[in-house]
């Protein structure tokens, strides 16, 4: 045994030396420590659109950054954001492992069946769209983890609507507003999918809806039909959404939710005859930069080659699931069996850091820590691989690449797709056969294309 020790020591030390100092330097990037600091002013300069005739682009900004038209008073700390995100991801994972049937509350005191949505308090990206005729600006949280969109609507008062900056949407001032009547397929489908559907109110004419989210917030109101303006001159008719007359929970300042899940109630599925059941977004590297949301497949034309694709596993209604097959750190694959990824990965806009299965996470952590061994590791309540970069003007970070089934490989943005608040932006989710979740930090600067119509997910580098 003793004779093996020097060899073993060299395997460890020499690997470290070669990773950190030579040979594999292409797998490492020196970045100024200021690269993670948002600017005080909004920047839109990095958005690189790849437009096709059948797509529409909507600017997308961070709720807490200078690009947002209205500033939320709720500016949660990083650990609070992670706590909210963990509640969201727990909820999503429980839904995925239980199957996707509409969930109904058993509580006998609640007479109407209540649809449970994912949690909304961890959502951080907003888009501004126009609702009604004439169009009224509405700032909506973008959410790939729920299906029924809604806005706060008149009539409601200070107990039933939370404060928002824009004037409340007033159906009576729109010439295109119409409640969805009870005796329609649209209402029956909504009820059938577990969103309440209360045909006794309003003289039996209007279709009610109710959603309770995993974070305890809720909305109820009237399922409605309206014109939705996505961009100047680009309006879709017959957008079905919830006109919310009674909201509660942790909501603040935004006007509602734009839901982009995979079930029939979502904007994507409603508009599939126009936009082919496809949408994409690019989340910017920093909260001071703008990104975009696009409806339609931006990959169908001449520049399809700028995307890499992986098959979408279609068994989930709301969530978008793909298979991951490999993780590379500084050019080296982490050494785990394929079964480490057997649970699949949900791609979600509202989960902050990637939730990785047990075996893969622990292997990633070891390799990443080794690659970052030059920097002092400091404990942090929520994440376990955090660094103290005080005194460094630049930091040498390993590139991290994720490979998905079919070979699609994405390089995470350096440093903002890898590190968040000086921590490795991954954490352990659960057993290997349970789904993980690709978080929004790790998706930064990539255009992520959810091409439901063609059963695939695409990624385009450096899109914003
Ligand atoms: C296609 O992609 C190339 C390189 O990314 C870009 O220069 C070009 O403008 C794109 N073409 C279109 C039509 O968007
Ligand atoms: C708000 O409206 C609800 C429902 O219409 C009503 O029960 C409540 O008393 C109102 N509250 C205030 C403060 O006006
Ligand atoms: C209602 O659901 C059925 C079955 O999924 C579907 O074929 C139909 O198009 C839906 N109708 C409306 C108006 O949503
Ligand atoms: C259903 O109708 C009752 C009575 O009008 C009302 O109190 C309740 O809020 C309605 N629920 C929904 C989900 O519309
Ligand atoms: C995803 O992975 C699971 C488990 O490894 C496998 O059964 C399934 O065929 C894979 N699906 C795709 C689309 O790659
Ligand atoms: C980080 O490093 C600086 C400089 O070495 C030191 O003063 C500080 O206490 C460290 N902070 C933590 C949280 O360890
Ligand atoms: C990183 O910082 C060190 C000292 O702080 C400096 O010597 C080195 O040139 C810097 N490297 C880059 C690529 O900026």
Top mutation candidate among 323, 403, 433 for ligand 5, by most atoms within 8 Å of CB: 323
Q: What mean pLDDT do residues 247-276 have?
A: 89
- Closest ligand 1 atom, residue 301 Cα: 13
Active site residue 348: yes
- Closest ligand 4 atom, residue 210 Cα: 13
Round to whole Å and give the CA distance between 59 and 464.
11
Round to whole Å and give the CA distance between 293 and 449.
10
| pLDDT given at position 7 | 38
3-state SS assignment for residue 368: helix
Round to whole Å and give the CA distance between 171 and 165.
18
| pLDDT given at position 338 | 96
Top mutation candidate among 264, 267, 269, 271 for ligand 3, by most atoms within 8 Å of CB: 264
**Helix locations, 260-299, DSSP H:** 267-270, 272-275
| pLDDT given at position 299 | 64
> What pLDDT, in 10s, does the model give residues 136-149?
999 999 999 999 99
CATH superfamily membership of 23-38+299-460: Acid Proteases (2.40.70.10)
Q: Are strands 218-231 and 436-438 parallel, antiparallel or unpaired?
A: unpaired
Judge if the beta carbon of residue 390 lies within 6 A of ligand 6: yes
| Residue 377, pLDDT above cutoff 80 | yes
- Closest ligand 1 atom, residue 51 Cα: 14
| pLDDT given at position 305 | 76
Round to whole Å and give the CA distance between 39 and 385.
26
- Give the residue, 205 or 318, on which the prediction is more confident: 318
Return the residue whose CA atom lies nearest to atom 1 of ligand 2.
157
- Say how many Å lie between the CA of residue 455 and the centre of ligand 4: 38
Percent of the chain with pLDDT over 90: 67
Min mean pLDDT across 53-62, 236-245, 282-291, 389-398 is at 53-62
- Say how many Å lie between the CA of residue 288 and the centre of ligand 6: 27
Judge if the beta carbon of residue 333 lies within 6 A of ligand 5: no
Return the residue whose CA atom lies nearest to atom 11 of ligand 6.
388
Please state the φ and ψ torsions of residue 204, each to the nearest 5 degrees: 80, 0
Q: Which of 304, 313, 310 is nearest to 325 (CA)?
A: 310
List residues bridging with 409 in a β-sheet. Answer: 403
Average pLDDT over the chain, rounded to whole?
Answer: 86
Tell me: cis bond preceding 53? Omega within 30 of 0 counts: no
Q: Show me where the domains of the chain are located.
A: 23-38+299-460, 55-296
- Say how many Å lie between the CA of residue 397 and the centre of ligand 7: 13
Top mutation candidate among 309, 310, 311, 313 for ligand 5, by most atoms within 8 Å of CB: 313
Min mean pLDDT across 16-20, 120-124, 261-265 is at 16-20
Q: Where are the beta strands (DSSP E) in 214-372?
A: 218-231, 234-248, 256-259, 278-282, 291-295, 307-311, 320-322, 324-329, 332-333, 345-347, 354-356
Q: Which CATH number fits domain 55-296: 3.40.228.10, 2.40.70.10, 1.10.30.50, 3.30.830.10?
A: 2.40.70.10
Catalytic residue among 147, 215, 255, 348: 348
- Say how many Å lie between the CA of residue 188 and the centre of ligand 3: 9
What's the sign of the alpha-carbon dihedral 49, 52, 57, 60? negative
| pLDDT given at position 101 | 36
Helix (H) or strand (E) holding 110: none
| Residue 300, pLDDT above cutoff 70 | no
| Residue 269, pLDDT above cutoff 50 | yes
- Closest ligand 2 atom, residue 157 Cα: 1
Q: How confident is the model at residue 35 (pLDDT cuts 50, 70, 90)?
A: very high
Active site residue 384: no
Min mean pLDDT across 100-109, 180-189, 418-427 is at 100-109
Q: How confident is the model at residue 163 (pLDDT cuts 50, 70, 90)?
A: confident
- DSSP-assigned states of every residue in 186-220: HHHHHHHTTS---TTGGGGTB-EEEEEETTS-EEE
| pLDDT given at position 100 | 38
| Residue 53, pLDDT above cutoff 50 | yes
Round to whole Å and give the CA distance between 59 and 83.
28
> What pLDDT, in 10s, does the model give residues 385-407?
999 999 999 999 999 999 999 99
| pLDDT given at position 91 | 87
- Closest ligand 7 atom, residue 30 Cα: 13
Fold matches, 23-38+299-460 and 55-296: yes
Percent of the chain with pLDDT over 70: 85
| Residue 262, pLDDT above cutoff 70 | yes
3-state SS assignment for residue 294: strand
| pLDDT given at position 198 | 65
> What pLDDT, in 10s, does the model give residues 193-234?
888 766 755 455 789 999 988 788 889 999 999 999 999 999
Q: Which of 254, 210, 262, 217 is nearest to 84 (CA)?
A: 217
Q: How confident is the model at residue 254 (pLDDT cuts 50, 70, 90)?
A: confident
Pocket lined around ligand 1, Cβ cut-off 6 Å? 50, 302-303, 306
Q: What mean pLDDT do residues 311-322 have?
A: 89
| pLDDT given at position 118 | 73
Look at phi and psi of residue 252 and say left if phi exceeds 0, alpha if psi is from -120 to 50, else beta: beta
Return the residue whose CA atom lies nearest to atom 2 of ligand 3.
189
Ligand nearest to the CA of 221: 4
| pLDDT given at position 405 | 98
222: how many CB neighbours lie within 10 A of its CB?
21
Q: How confident is the model at residue 322 (pLDDT cuts 50, 70, 90)?
A: very high
């Amino acid at each position: 045994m003793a004779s093996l020790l020097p060899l073993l020591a060299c395997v460890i030390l020499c690997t470290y030396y070669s990773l950190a100092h030579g040979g594999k330097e292409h797998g490492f990037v020196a970045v100024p420590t200021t690269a993670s600091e948002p600017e005080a002013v909004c920047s839109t300069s990095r958005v690189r659109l790849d437009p096709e005739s059948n797509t529409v682009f909507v600017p997308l900004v961070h709720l807490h950054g200078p690009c947002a038209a209205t500033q939320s008073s709720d500016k949660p700390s990083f650990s609070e954001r992670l706590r909210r995100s963990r509640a969201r991801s727990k909820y999503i994972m429980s839904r995925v492992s239980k199957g996707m049937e509409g969930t109904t509350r058993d509580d006998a005191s609640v007479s109407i069946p209540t649809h449970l949505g994912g949690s909304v308090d961890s959502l951080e990206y907003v888009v501004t769209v126009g609702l009604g005729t004439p169009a009224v600006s509405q700032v909506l949280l973008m959410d790939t983890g729920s299906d029924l969109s809604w806005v706060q609507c008149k009539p409601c008062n200070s107990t039933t609507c939370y404060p928002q900056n824009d004037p409340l949407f007033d159906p009576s001032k729109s010439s295109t507003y119409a409640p969805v009547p009870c005796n329609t397929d649209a209402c029956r489908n909504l009820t059938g999918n577990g969103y309440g559907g209360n045909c006794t109110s309003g003289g039996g004419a209007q279709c009610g809806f109710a959603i309770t989210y995993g974070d305890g917030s809720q909305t109820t109101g009237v399922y409605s039909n309206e014109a939705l303006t996505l961009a100047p001159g680009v309006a879709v008719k017959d957008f079905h959404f919830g006109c919310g007359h009674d909201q509660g929970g942790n909501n603040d300042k935004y006007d509602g939710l734009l839901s982009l899940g995979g079930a029939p109630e979502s904007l994507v599925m409603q508009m599939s005859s126009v936009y082919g059941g496809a949408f994409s977004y690019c989340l910017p590297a920093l909260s001071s930069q703008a990104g975009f949301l696009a409806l339609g497949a931006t990959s169908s034309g001449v520049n399809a080659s700028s995307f890499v694709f992986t098959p979408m596993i279609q068994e989930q209604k709301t969530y978008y699931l793909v298979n991951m097959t490999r993780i590379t750190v500084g050019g080296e694959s982490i050494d785990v069996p394929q079964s480490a990824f057997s649970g699949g990965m949900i791609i979600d806009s509202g989960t902050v850091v990637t939730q990785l299965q047990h075996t893969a996470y622990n292997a990633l952590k070891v390799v990443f820590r080794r690659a970052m061994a030059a920097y002092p590791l400091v404990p942090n309540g929520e994440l376990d691989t955090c660094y103290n970069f005080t005194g460094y003007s630049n930091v040498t970070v390993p590139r991290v690449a994720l490979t998905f089934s079919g070979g699609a490989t994405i390089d995470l943005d350096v440093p903002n797709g890898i590190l968040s608040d000086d921590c490795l932006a991954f954490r352990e989710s659960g057993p290997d056969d349970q789904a993980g979740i690709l978080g929004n930090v790790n998706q930064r600067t990539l255009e992520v294309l959810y091409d439901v119509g063609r059963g695939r997910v695409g990624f385009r580098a450096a899109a914003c």
